[in-house]
């Protein structure tokens, strides 16, 4: 990986304070970390990446200031037809814990459940193509995925866009702290994902927590399960997801695929009654990774009710957050911005635990 000789400051255009020195930490933070946040147009980050109009449809990036920040990045994937701006409360909160955050704008315009419904193989191919790109092997000999329903090439895949935006953030001259962002890419001539400055590269999964809400949480789980065995992600956090099921009768078969990321690195949060948006989430958590492997959390697979978020998670990896207001409101309560004070009062405590607590991984 390239080395940087000096820290860079956040641009005045972002209203930033000067970063004092290089370096960061993995240790838990005791006080909120100062952050700077801004939007990035996907098309600006790399060749061949499609753009969408409007600030709401840009990537949303949170960069923590030097003091208290960690050597860890959270890549977040929103739900069907959402925009990164729907999740700024969550992203800003995670930034205050010292994490860098990229709330990624990615191809998510149609619900995979509606697209696939009774076609089990479709779930695997749509998830795989969205994550890795059509017919793209992540490395030599890896599985490839292709669907007639979506058309996603390597550059516009989730991983392609992650590589491109990290590379972009590491090369904004004085606009961002390049040394900080550089650590999240690994140069590899064999990679099918080509960064504008860095060249062929992979995300440095050992420093990345991948997370998502609803459809995005399913994509996060799929990626973590299907990376090479020597490249597991740091942690996976699924919010109200995954719900993939075949015509309401059984879990989609990819749920029980063997996972290359250890199951004790998977964490989940759901509301009690998300209706059709979450009818299979609990069952999918139990089945994740295959029969007899323990599901989400591995051997520690029990669900724990934490009330409004203030309850004791008791070491559990599967949490249930009390909510109300109908199925869609419950489904959104685990992650979406709350402009009406209608979501559980202490859900930020649940986020702290899921992303930052339980175990050190």
Give pLDDT tens digits for 86-121.
Answer: 999 999 999 999 999 999 999 876 788 888 989 999
Tokens describing residue 143:
């599985």
pLDDT exceeds cutoff 70 at 273? yes
Which domains, and CATH codes, for the chain? Answer: 36-356 (3.40.50.1820)
CB 249 within 8 A of CB 283: no
How many angstroms separate the CA atoms of 92 and 95, rounded?
5
Whole-number pLDDT of residue 173: 80
Tokens describing residue 319:
């949490």
Q: 199 — alpha (psi -120 to 50), left (phi > 0) or beta?
A: left
Q: Please, what is the Cα angle at 199 between 196 and 202, to 5 degrees?
A: 110
Selected residue with higher pLDDT from 340 and 62:
62
Confidence bin at 4 (pLDDT 50/70/90): very low
Indicate the angle between helix axes 88-96 and 347-356, nearest 10 degrees. Answer: 60
- pTM over the 0.85 mark: yes
H/E element holding 76? strand 73-77
Tokens describing residue 251:
């879990």
CB 142 within 8 A of CB 94: no
- Bridge partners of 246, per DSSP, are 250
CB 312 within 8 A of CB 298: no
Q: At 264, phi and psi to the nearest 5?
A: -75, 0
How many angstroms separate the CA atoms of 188 and 240, rounded?
34
Q: Find the DSSP H helices in the chain.
A: 88-96, 112-116, 120-132, 158-169, 178-182, 215-226, 281-287, 327-332, 347-356
Tokens describing residue 135:
């017919």
Tokens describing residue 158:
């989730």
CB 34 within 8 A of CB 16: no
Give pLDDT tens digits for 170-209.
Answer: 998 877 788 899 999 999 999 999 999 999 999 999 999 9
Q: Find the DSSP H helices in 203-356.
A: 215-226, 281-287, 327-332, 347-356
Segment 327-355 mean pLDDT: 92
How many angstroms separate the CA atoms of 356 and 349, rounded?
10
Confidence bin at 25 (pLDDT 50/70/90): low
User: What's the whole-number average pLDDT of the chain?
Assistant: 89
End-to-end Cα, the chain, rounded Å: 23
């Amino acid at each position: 990986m390239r080395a940087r000789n000096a820290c860079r400051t956040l641009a005045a255009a972002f209203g930033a304070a000067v970063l004092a020195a290089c370096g960061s930490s993995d240790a838990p933070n005791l006080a909120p970390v100062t952050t700077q946040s801004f939007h990035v147009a996907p098309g600006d980050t790399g060749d061949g990446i499609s753009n969408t109009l409007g600030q709401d449809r840009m990537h949303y990036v949170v960069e923590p200031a030097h003091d208290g920040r960690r050597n860890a990045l959270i890549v977040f994937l929103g739900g069907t037809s959402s925009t990164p701006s729907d999740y700024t409360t969550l992203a800003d909160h995670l930034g205050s814990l010292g994490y860098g955050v990229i709330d990624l704008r990615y191809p998510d315009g149609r619900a995979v459940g509606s697209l696939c419904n009774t076609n089990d193989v479709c779930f695997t191919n749509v998830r795989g193509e969205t994550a890795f790109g059509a017919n793209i092997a992540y490395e030599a000999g890896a599985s490839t995925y292709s669907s007639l329903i979506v058309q996603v090439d390597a550059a516009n895949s989730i991983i392609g866009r992650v590589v491109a935006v990290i590379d972009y953030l590491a090369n904004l001259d004085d606009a961002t702290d390049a040394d900080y962002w550089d650590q999240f890419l690994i140069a590899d001539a064999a990679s099918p994902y080509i960064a504008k400055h860095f060249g062929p590269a992979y995300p440095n999964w050992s420093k990345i927590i991948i997370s998502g809400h609803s459809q995005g949480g399913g994509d996060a789980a799929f990626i973590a399960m299907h990376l090479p065995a020597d490249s597991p992600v740091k942690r996976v956090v699924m919010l109200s997801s995954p719900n993939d099921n075949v015509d309401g009768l059984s879990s989609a078969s990819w749920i029980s695929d063997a996972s290359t990321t250890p199951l004790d690195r998977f964490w989940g949060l759901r509301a009690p009654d998300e209706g059709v948006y979450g009818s299979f989430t609990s069952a999918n958590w139990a089945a994740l990774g295959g029969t007899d492997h323990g599901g989400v959390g591995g051997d520690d697979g029990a669900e724990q009710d934490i009330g409004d978020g203030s309850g004791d998670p008791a070491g559990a990896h599967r949490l249930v957050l009390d909510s109300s207001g109908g199925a869609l409101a419950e489904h959104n309560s685990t992650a979406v911005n709350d402009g009406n004070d209608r979501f559980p009062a202490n859900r930020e405590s649940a986020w702290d635990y899921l992303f930052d607590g339980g175990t050190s991984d």
